[in-house]
């Protein structure tokens, strides 16, 4: 990966190894992927085809905004309430230790996911498909809302969930590493305090990662609405449940997961963080009561159905193996 000198910063270095590995594995080093962080009016991200490969652009405020989000969430004592009670205000650095470690980890995970989502667009062949369609070979997560009221494009919505799916599966290495650490009986007392005993470690790690992504989706939608912008993304709950429905079977192939335990932990973390988001004033649409769950499942099935039925021009350009359709 190359990055211009002015844009290079220590915060971006962790991405270099990941992107270099992906470039070799999926692009056979035939194309470059340049990642840059730059000032933007909105909290936006984009992927585009450029000479020699691809470019991913992210707003340079992402890390600070995510740190702030998870600081505010972990500052609420009802979130993971077995941890030390926090002061009402302060920065991420002065949260009580276990809360600080959790907030920092989840913030970083979400930033990784944003980069992974853009990599997902590249690996799914969306940029080449745009060229085939005669459009600019660029995908921006947010666009200024058209006053005429643009209609939803089903193909673009499918592309967004496909990029989410690939993005989430690229988090697999981090998730497996987290599970490995938490299963080790020798880990430090703070880590154990955060994740609980080894018998719930796998379920708790997957729950926490999925719920963190849900927080990210709601945060991004809220940030977009404040600027009167929109993306082609489904509702944050639908995005999160779609990822959950994909992550759990994939995790089942690699780990022994107790599904009842997972449901219990997922619901507990989900409700805490959902309440916390509400408390911070993030708008919600669907809610996770019984009617909400049915509506979410319907929306997820609907997306899967249109994904099967749609003639996706990106199919011929995919650089990754795709599950049977």
Residues that bind Zn ion (CB under 5 A): 160, 163
Q: What are the Cα distances from residue 184, in Å, to 11, 52, 196, 201, 263?
A: 28, 44, 12, 10, 23
Work out the burial of residue 209: count CB atoms within 10 Å of its CB; fewer than 13 is exposed, 13-18 middle, 19 or more buried.
Answer: buried
Q: Is 113 helix (H, G, I), strand (E, B) or coil?
A: helix
Q: Which two tokens stand for residue 208?
A: 């926490």
- Residue number with CB closer to Zn ion (122 or 163): 163
Q: Where are the alpha helices (DSSP H) in 170-197?
A: 172-183, 189-195
- Residue number with CB closer to Zn ion (142 or 194): 142
- Residue number with CB closer to Zn ion (160 or 222): 160
Residue 159 CB, nearest approach to Zn ion (Å): 7
| Residue nearest Zn ion (C-beta atom) | 163
Sequence-separated (6 or more) residues with CB below 8 Å from residue 219: 65, 66, 69, 277, 282
For residues 118, 122, 127 and 129, what is the CA-based torsion angle, rounded to 10 degrees?
-130
Residue 232 CB, nearest approach to Zn ion (Å): 7
Residue 142 CB, nearest approach to Zn ion (Å): 9
Question: Which contiguous run of DSSP H or E holds residue 48?
Answer: strand 45-50
Residue 192 CB, nearest approach to Zn ion (Å): 36
Q: Which residue has the tokens 């020798």?
A: 186
- Residue number with CB closer to Zn ion (127 or 295): 127
Residue 168 CB, nearest approach to Zn ion (Å): 13
Sequence-separated (6 or more) residues with CB below 8 Å from residue 131: 49, 137
Residue 121 CB, nearest approach to Zn ion (Å): 6
Q: Which two tokens stand for residue 169?
A: 């599966």
Quick count: other Cβ atoms within 10 Å of Cβ 256?
Answer: 8
- Residue number with CB closer to Zn ion (92 or 122): 122
Residue 255 CB, nearest approach to Zn ion (Å): 28
Pair 120, 163: CB distance under 8 Å: yes
């Amino acid at each position: 990966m190359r990055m211009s000198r002015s844009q290079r910063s220590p915060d971006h270095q962790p991405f270099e190894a990941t992107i270099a590995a992906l470039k070799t594995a999926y692009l056979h080093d035939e194309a470059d992927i340049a990642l840059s962080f730059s000032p933007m009016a909105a909290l936006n991200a984009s992927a585009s085809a450029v000479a020699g490969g691809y470019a991913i652009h992210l707003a340079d405020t992402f890390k600070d905004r995510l740190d702030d989000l998870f600081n505010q969430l972990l500052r609420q004592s009802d979130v993971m309430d077995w941890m030390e009670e926090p002061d009402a205000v302060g920065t991420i650095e002065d949260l009580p230790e276990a809360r600080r470690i959790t907030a920092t980890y989840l913030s970083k995970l979400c930033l990784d996911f944003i980069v992974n989502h853009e990599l997902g667009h590249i690996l799914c062949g969306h940029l080449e498909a745009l060229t085939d369609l005669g459009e600019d070979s660029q995908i921006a997560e947010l666009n200024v809302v058209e006053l005429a009221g643009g209609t939803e494009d089903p193909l673009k919505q499918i592309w967004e969930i496909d990029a989410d799916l690939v993005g989430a599966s690229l988090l697999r290495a981090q998730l497996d590493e987290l599970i490995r650490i938490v299963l080790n009986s020798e880990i430090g007392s703070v880590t154990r305090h955060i994740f609980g005993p080894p018998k719930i470690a796998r379920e708790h790690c997957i729950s926490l990662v999925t719920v963190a992504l849900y927080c990210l989706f709601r945060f991004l939608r809220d940030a977009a609405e404040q600027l009167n912008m929109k993306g082609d993304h489904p509702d944050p709950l639908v995005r999160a449940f779609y990822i959950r429905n994909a992550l759990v079977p994939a995790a089942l192939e690699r780990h022994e997961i107790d599904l009842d335990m997972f449901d219990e932990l997922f619901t507990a973390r989900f409700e805490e963080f959902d309440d916390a988001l509400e408390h911070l004033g993030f708008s919600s649409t669907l809610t996770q009561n019984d009617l909400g769950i049915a509506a979410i499942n319907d929306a997820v099935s609907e997306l899967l159905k249109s994904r099967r039925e749609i003639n996706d021009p990106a199919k011929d350009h995919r650089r990754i193996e795709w599950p049977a359709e």
